[in-house]
Structure 1
Amino acid sequence: MFGVLEGTGFEVIAPEFGECLIGHARVERLWTGARWSEGPVWFAAGRYLLWSDIPNNRLMRFDETDGSVSVFRQPSMNANGNTVDRQGRLVSCEHLTRRVTRTEHDGSITVLADEWQGKRLNSPNDVVVKSDGSIWFTDPSYGIMMDYEGERAESQIGACHVYRIDPISREVSAVATDFVKPNGLAFSADERTLYIADTGGTHQVDGPAHIRRFAVGDDGRSLSGGEVFADCTAGFFDGFRLDRDGRIWTSAADGVHCLNPAGELIGKVRIPEFVGNLCFGGAKLNRLFIAGTTSLYSVFLNVNGISPL
């Protein structure tokens, strides 16, 4: 069956997308009341999800055990993207303070990066942790372009790069410097490929709205390639994640787009508002949590996300 499956939230574009679906599963809205939701991250040990409500300057918490939603942290320093490191600690990109931080197990906050070559970062946006403990993040200028999601300021760097934080020395190095507005990023399961979105079209006429694909060097810290992997057909690709079979599940203006390993659009999870980001969670990593503009959604799928640990 092709087209929108009535009442489910799914749109099947290619037959292979049907293999990702559970026949009776439906998209659920778990909570609403945000201004711009972003950066969902799953904490398996506590069975809870954290995500950012950037303009409201807070991190929210969804408890899977009882369905409750509460404020995890406020102020959040206009936190955007979040992830979990190999020790189960929260790593966040903060627009207001223009830094990447780690929340320790005792609740204290460690600054991991706030400058490059002596100049302040723009406004770190999204972040991933590699198995060697290195932290990779994007640094577009969205948080300093207005006061709504940060604080208006001039860029000291004068460009928008992708960076790596060394796990031992904490040196910050630029790994990709030819982006307009680098945004979401994610490694393949074997970490030999890094996918990075460019949303430069938000503020540049005919600017990019695509995901690029890079090969990770044998040294584990350098990138090569960077060809366009897929163009967005509805708005922009923001945040995204891969499943264990190499498909990319990515945010878009009309919901979540599913791309096969060749970069072909095979299906959509329709959401009635712009989607900023998403992640896999639940006990078997088969529940897709979706950060819509004002709401948190989820849907169970017949696929499994890549374990972050």
Structure 2
Amino acid sequence: MADLNLMKAGIIACGSTNTKNQNALIAESLTFINQAAAGLNPRDWLEIAMLRALMFGLACSLFCLAAQAEGPVKTDEPYARLPLQFGLCDGPSWTGKSLFIPDVKAGILYDYDPVSGMLTKITENVRISGTCYRHGRLYASDNGNARISLLDGHDLTTLAVVDTAEKPVNKPNDLVVDAQGGVYVTLTKPNQVVYVTREGKVSVAVDGLPTPNGLTLSPDEKTLYVASYLPKEIWAYDVTAPGQTANGRKFAFMDDGKDPGADGMTIDADGNVYCAGAKAVWIWNPKGELLGKIETPARPINCKFGDADLKTLYITCFDGLYRQRMTVSGLAPGRDH
């Protein structure tokens, strides 16, 4: 019984040490049990069975904790800056083969092929702040013309104009497209998120949120996440119908100083939420618990998943385009939020 009590103490110790030591103690305890089982009194078999069950449960818990500790970022492959030149690259989107990248400062829309490394100019003299590829086409937040546009070959066509004034004030910032082909668009100055139907009709989906910027939809499209730039908050809204939301609540807050920066957003297949902050890309799980950050040498602007396995996070920053390998994947091509 002394040996059994010793094993019990070892199991209790597992709960108060680090994962590496816990795994070692469990392995040693299991080895001891198997070696000593033949010499134990019959009355001890029930207690041995109970100990085995306890250690099996603890091992399962440790496996889950280890998976959580790994996090969504592939830490053994650090981010890398791609050798591409931009004035100021903004909201990208993945097509399944390549990455659309708008250069909002140079007024150019590019297409980047990660296999060949080629950067191709698609159209110019445009001020696009965000893109979203879905339903086999590219939707663009045509900030310079206060409209939501569709890419047709090398030209942009109008889906909807969000401000018809001669000198428009309400210019679109970022956008995300839903399964119906409708577009949620942030209008930063009037503190609104509007919804544009596939026919081009515009309605207000969210009103009164300070400086809305990036946005994304949950994988099941039941939740709309919106970044509030100046207060550095992420808000979540229930989507009750296309273009209609309810139950707005604060989902997360960036507590990293005074610099503003709740900017572009994306989501992965597990529903984890990503947002570019003042100094890093922040990652939360669907419960709003912080999973980690991807620190960048320059201020990040936006991010999207890409590559053949959808396990590369492309991050646009003030000094160019970065890529970070991940342990989780983004949504399938055509579902790029």
Same fold (TM > 0.5): yes
> Which residue type is aligned with residue 227 of structure 1?
R
Whether the 8 Å CA contact 1:61–1:69 is kept in 2: the answer is: yes
Superimposed CA distance per residue, residues 149-190 of structure 1 (whole angstroms, 9 cap, x where no aligned partner): xxxxxxxxxx2311111124x210011111221111111011
2:123 counterpart residue number? 73
Displacement of 1:68 after TM fit? Answer: 2.3
Superimposed CA distance per residue, residues 93-142 of structure 1 (whole angstroms, 9 cap, x where no aligned partner): 122111110012x334221111369895611011111011111111114x
2:297 counterpart residue number? 272
**Equivalence map 1:101-180=2 (5 Å):** 101-104=149-152, 106-115=153-162, 120=168, 122-141=170-189, 159-168=190-199, 170-180=200-210
Displacement of 1:89 after TM fit? Answer: 1.1
Matched, 1:63 2:113: yes
> Structure 1's 179 and 32: CA in aligned 2 closer, same or farther, altered over 3 A?
same
Superimposed CA distance per residue, residues 265-300 of structure 1 (whole angstroms, 9 cap, x where no aligned partner): 221112100000000011121110000112100011
Higher relative contact order at CA 8 Å, sep ≥6: structure 1 or structure 2? 1
Give percent identity, aligned residues only: 27
Whether the 8 Å CA contact 2:227–2:275 is kept in 1: the answer is: no
**Equivalence map 1:230-241=2 (5 Å):** 230-234=252-256, 235-241=260-266
Superimposed CA distance per residue, residues 32-86 of structure 1 (whole angstroms, 9 cap, x where no aligned partner): 4323221111111xx211112212111233211211224332112x110101121
Whether the 8 Å CA contact 2:184–2:243 is kept in 1: the answer is: no
Q: Give the TM-score taking structure 2 as reference length.
A: 0.74
Whether the 8 Å CA contact 1:34–1:293 is kept in 2: the answer is: no
2:217 counterpart residue number? 187
Aligned counterparts of 2:148 and 2:187: Cα–Cα separation in 1: 10
> Structure 1's 23 and 79: CA in aligned 2 closer, same or farther, altered over 3 A?
closer
Aligned counterparts of 2:288 and 2:129: Cα–Cα separation in 1: 26
Superimposed CA distance per residue, residues 219-275 of structure 1 (whole angstroms, 9 cap, x where no aligned partner): 333100111101112342211111111111221122211112221222111210000
**Equivalence map 1:39-58=2 (5 Å):** 39-44=91-96, 47-58=97-108
Question: 130-139 vs 57-66, which deviates more?
Answer: 57-66
Aligned counterparts of 1:68 and 1:118: Cα–Cα separation in 2: 39
Whether the 8 Å CA contact 2:146–2:163 is kept in 1: the answer is: no
Matched, 1:256 2:256: no
SS at match of 1:96: helix
2:239 counterpart residue number? 216
Give the number of the structure whose residues are more often helix, by fraction.
2
Displacement of 1:194 after TM fit? Answer: 0.4
Matched, 1:30 2:82: yes
Based on CA coordinates, which of the two structures has the bigger radius of gyration?
2
1:282 counterpart residue number? 307
> Structure 1's 108 and 62: CA in aligned 2 closer, same or farther, altered over 3 A?
closer
Give the number of the structure whose residues are more often strand, by fraction.
1
In the alignment, structure 1 segments of 5+ residues that lack a partner are 2-13, 142-158, 202-207
Aligned counterparts of 1:140 and 1:183: Cα–Cα separation in 2: 6
Whether the 8 Å CA contact 1:22–1:302 is kept in 2: the answer is: yes
Of 292, 304, 308, 2:329 maps to 304
In the alignment, structure 2 segments of 5+ residues that lack a partner are 1-17, 19-65
> Which residue type is aligned with residue 247 of structure 1?
N
